[in-house]
Amino acid sequence: MTLKTNPSDIQKAETDKRVFRLVTLSNKLQALLVSDPETDKAAAAMDVHVGHLSDPSEAPGLAHFCEHLLFMGNEKYPLENDYSQFLSTHGGSSNAFTSADHTNYYFDVKADFLEGALDRFTQFFVSPLFDASCTEREMKAVDSEHSKNIQQDSWRIYQLQKDLTSKEHPYSKFGTGNLKTLKDYPESLGIDVRRLLLDFHNRLYSANIMKLVVIGKESLDQLQQWVVEKASAIKNKDIDPPSWPGHPMTKDDLLKQIFVKPVKDLRSLKLTFPLPDLTEFYLCKPASYASHLIGHESEGSILALLKQKGWANDLSAGASSGAINFEFFTISIGLTEEGSKHWEEIVVVVFQYIAMLREAGVKDWIYEECQTLSEVQFRFQEKRSPASFASRVAGDIHYYSPEHVLSGPSVMFKMNKKEIQSVLDALNVENFRITLLSPDFKSSEWQKANHYQTEFQYEAISQSLKRELHAIRPNTALHLPLKNEFIPGNLTVKRTHLSAQRRPDLVFDSNIVRLWHKKDDTFWVPKAKVMFILKSPLAYATPSTCVITRLFTDCLDDVLNQFSYYASVAGLDYHLTNSTEGIELTLSGYNDKLQHLLQRILTTAKHLKIDRKRFVAVKEALGRSYKNWAQEQPYQHAAFFASYVTQEKLWTSEEKLEVLDDISAEDVEAFYPQLLARLNVEGFVFGNVEASEAVALAKALQEELRCKSLPAALHNQVVRTHIFPNGKHLIHQRQVANVNQLNSALEHLIQIGDVSNADLRTKTLLFAQIAKEPCFDVLRTKEQLGYIVASGIRKQTGMISFRILIQSEKGPAFLESRAEQFLLSLRDTVADMSDKDFQKNIDTVAFNLTEKDKNMSQEAHRIWNHISNRYYDFEEEENDAKKVITISRGQLLHFYDEYISPNSRTRRVLSIHLASAKATSEGTSGQNVSDVAHISDSLDELIPRVLVDSTGVAELKASMQLSRSPVPVVPLSAFRTGVSKI
């Protein structure tokens, strides 16, 4: 028996053509069915209203462990990789996460294969095996996941703030789990963790607290039939979602301060206020009113005043869900070094602003402005990817009435001044806790937290601060924002009748600016995406010019912020970034006032005046980001150094940090006019914009910058790729910079050939598809090398490569040996797979290449990638899809033997070895040179190994050839349509 809701009852975006039905099965499982006849990708998600707050005290992390094990086979599909293999060979993927009171599982797959994927997925919840043979392996996977997070400040601080709440409340639990909490501790108590796990699942995984979302191309009736058939067998225990009375932050936790010494060079101040659960007030969203004003960045805001004083660089504010019965409201401020010395004064400023809000009262016009923007945003909401949509909505169904399952999370439906005032009243001087991060703390005698060893000090706030807070006086520098002039007034969608096309037209081509344009013919929203690359060889000529260019864009952002924040609130954003070619400027959002924002950015850039006090703060923040790069994850470093060795020019953070101190505001002001004096600009305008309007943007840019053209020889200059010598295995060794990092990393990169060679490109894509699932299954699931294991392709100018990336507590040479052994096994994988499976992989590659863009952003970036790489091969994906279906097994084996196989005499390999100073035991120590040189002896590798340390990279790069510069696949004249030329 199922209960239905009328599809028209569910509010949806104006452009959303999908139809919806909410059903409740006989076992009380609620499911949202989404029929989308146009989709080429199906998806499903299950959200279980149980999370780590329900962990038994004997086994912290059990809910997360349960999440891992549900993937590992069930009675109907006992093979532990059956689900992942099915998805991988049908263009799909999957993931899951565990939070405080939710566990969320989701997948996507080619639309034709939804039923098979859904059958495997629902069996997670019907008859999981929890096979004893994989229990300890997955414990290690959980432990590896925790190990990945140990040196991450966000995880350390999150757990510390939980630790310092009431021990009577389960919020204080450690949710990730590790070997100590899932194996050693339970065993010491004589507890069988597998039995504990079975009991946990049997008690708490109940159909009546699960929400399912299924998206497919089939009709609602067909989707309903499948869901009834496959999900009705999930047992209903008729339980309530686990909940706990009271708030984890009790009176004993208030008016306290936590001083924390971070891993990175971070300085921040956070004020945390306990709030009741506000879910029932979602029609008003009272916390959104407070967060809109406290988090505002215009003149009169908290941040504007703190920036003026040189004390802060950023601020965010808002409510964050805890679990049933409790929430938090947090105000987080990124401090400067000077601001760290004045943190108590900053706390006073925050409460001065909150007092001003209370005194002003709840303003109708402010709420109405927020309400209008929320309605417009929902009205023209674009599709997310099916898996992302399913995962998000499955969690939302728990909280919103049926008609609001889509609109409930974002739309402010009606104002309730009493509810808003109650939130403002909760933000008072008796109801908060402070967390202060600074690397300057002397922490030698501080406490160390459990699980992450975070150094901290916990104490009551000072009496002097209490006195100041109880004697708050008005601050005339603080006031409400102005009415937002960027709220779009013209939301007309220009439904020009065009035949759909995948490529843009070249509509403007001067000696300075080349502009591409494509009118949106698919999504029909009043939005646009505009990208420009302002190319100049000066921008990345040396580490100094690279850093000065970055300081210029950062200072420009800083000056524009009070103005541009209004645009951002109104759904129109811009982004400035530096690249090896120059400066990239992106604008995205409602097209109505986009030209106004662009004009302001260009005018300010051309006539930038740098405030000296703000320059100190901007420069300090940039230096901190360079310094903090050393503390990023080893796998990120391995990927970077693969680029560093292969790329013609790439400056390291150390090189940039070395020159930063000597750069002054005067240097930036003297340099940027030279930078902007000679440019070559390429751009792309996409969306609800006609060609004539796009041309107007190009002309405005050209007229505002008033620059001269670069010499023609520099117009298409790009950073090329070094080509490894045939028959060489290069090994670049480095130590992990963070001495407390347990993990090492490997990037194993095999160069194939010119990325513009369609034959090599499609064979690499097919090989990567076949290798993907076995790589994860063998190296992560079975061999348990580490939580991060991935394989795939790497595209660079003039080169396509195959890569394996691993982060592990084992050492890089050992990881390389396992990667090589895995690569050796892939020949049999290709040779022995059935014709049917070989064809499935071909079909998946062809599908991935031609998969529909799900929103404007995806389409814009796909096209921009073809423009910015200078090949202008807008039909690459379609042509590759046609070509890949012609590849035979014999051709792929020949490709493997020549380019991939460890037994090839001609393959070109680079192994990046990032070795942890803390690694120990089996294969985990940093091997010496002779160890590395002979690591592949057992594989009979036939090519010599060349060891390169950090001092030898420049010499190595000088000895290698460079790839060809990109050449357009067809003359650009083929793309000109009514092109304007100046």
Cα dihedral: 859, 862, 865, 870 (round 10): -100
How big is the chain by its Cα radius of gyration, in Å?
Answer: 29
Helix boundaries (H) for 902-944: 929-933
Asked if 874 contacts 504 with a C-beta cutoff of 8 angstroms, the reply is: yes
**Rounded distance between C-alpha atoms, residue 228 and residue 234, angstroms:** 10
From residue 265, alpha-carbon distances to 130, 415, 456, 857, 900 in Å are 43, 42, 15, 34, 41
Q: Which residue has the tokens 């129109």?
A: 572
Q: Determine the 3-state secondary structure of 506 from DSSP.
A: strand
Q: How far is CA 141 from the centre of its chain?
A: 22
CB atoms near residue 78 (< 10 Å): 12
Q: Determine the 3-state secondary structure of 530 from DSSP.
A: strand
Q: List the one residue out of 492, 490, 481 whose CA is nearest residue 370.
A: 481
Q: List the one residue out of 583, 579, 532 whose CA is nearest residue 686.
A: 532
Phi, psi of 534 (to 5 degrees): -95, 100
Q: List the one residue out of 734, 768, 731 whose CA is nearest residue 910.
A: 731
Asked if 794 contacts 801 with a C-beta cutoff of 8 angstroms, the reply is: yes
Q: Which residue has the tokens 């940090």?
A: 657
Estimate the crossing angle of helix 758-775 against helix 876-884, to 10 degrees.
Answer: 70
Asked if 51 contacts 97 with a C-beta cutoff of 8 angstroms, the reply is: no
Phi, psi of 506 (to 5 degrees): -90, 110
| 110, amino acid identity | K
Which pair of tokens denotes residue 828? 């049999």
Side-chain-facing half-sphere of 896: CA atoms under 13 Å: 21
**Rounded distance between C-alpha atoms, residue 366 and residue 376, angstroms:** 16
Q: Is the sign of the CA dihedral 775, 778, 780, 785 positive or negative?
A: negative
From residue 503, alpha-carbon distances to 858, 862, 931 in Å are 14, 10, 52
Which pair of tokens denotes residue 354? 């909150």
Asked if 522 contacts 859 with a C-beta cutoff of 8 angstroms, the reply is: yes
Q: List the one residue out of 520, 525, 384 whose CA is nearest residue 39.
A: 384
Asked if 311 contacts 359 with a C-beta cutoff of 8 angstroms, the reply is: no
Phi, psi of 549 (to 5 degrees): -60, -40
Phi, psi of 917 (to 5 degrees): -70, -20
| 959, amino acid identity | S
Which pair of tokens denotes residue 832? 């022995």
Asked if 715 contacts 680 with a C-beta cutoff of 8 angstroms, the reply is: yes
Helix boundaries (H) for 572-652: 594-606, 612-628, 634-646
Asked if 921 contacts 683 with a C-beta cutoff of 8 angstroms, the reply is: no
Residue tagged active-site, from 14, 58, 67, 138: 67
Which pair of tokens denotes residue 866? 């073809």
Q: How far is CA 871 from the centre of its chain?
A: 27
**Rounded distance between C-alpha atoms, residue 862 and residue 877, angstroms:** 10
Residue 851 bears catalytic tag: no
Question: Residue-wise over 830-853: b if at least 16 C-beta within 10 A, else e?
Answer: beebeeeebebbbbbbbbbbeeeb
Active site residues per annotation = 67
